[in-house]
Amino acid sequence: MRSARAKRGVSQAQLAALDGVLRSTVERIEADTRQPSLVTLNRLLAAVDLELRIRLDDLDRLAAAVRELDEGSAARPVRGRGPRRPRPRCSGAGADGHHGGDDEDRRDQRDDPQDQPGDGQPGGGTPPPAGRDTDAAEDHPQQGQHDADRR
């Protein structure tokens, strides 16, 4: 509205006087701090020889465009970018030494022994030293006992 008023060489006070409103009303409308009714806006524009026109779009055309977007790639989420879940708050590293991240990812790793480091047992582990028989203590229970006594 400001540009239309300025093109006609009319001040805010003059426009307000032409329409019978306060100058502060014109000022707030132009500053976008007041939203005038369509009736008020039409009267203000008519005071500077302008006409308010409203274009209505065909709802069927708009609905078809929305359906097209829904069916197209723009509506598909990017892989791995679904809605965010709130992360649990913790004071430090968890039992798994992990400082954050997705609980579901950690749960998936625990459930799949192929992804675990070490002995393939649930919970992971450290791989045995090369060339050492991992079942030695079970085959020789006394040897296992002697090892425990030395500690």
**pLDDT tens digits, residue range 51-64?**
888 877 778 888 88
Contacts of 124 (CB under 8 A, 6+ apart): 116, 117, 118
Contacts of 50 (CB under 8 A, 6+ apart): 4
What confidence tier does 68 reach under pLDDT thresholds 50, 70, 90? confident
15-42 pLDDT, tens digit per residue, is 999 888 999 999 999 999 999 999 998 9
What is the C-alpha to C-alpha distance for residues 146 and 96, in angstroms, rounded to an integer?
Answer: 31
* Residues 39 and 31: beta-carbon distance below 8 Å: no
Return the DSSP state at 87.
Answer: P
For position 29, what pLDDT does the model report?
92
Averaged over 76-97, what is the pLDDT? 59
Domains of the chain with CATH codes: 1-75 (1.10.260.40)
Residue 114 reports pLDDT greater than 60 = no
Of the candidates 43, 6, 48, which has an alpha carbon nearest to the alpha carbon of residue 25?
A: 43
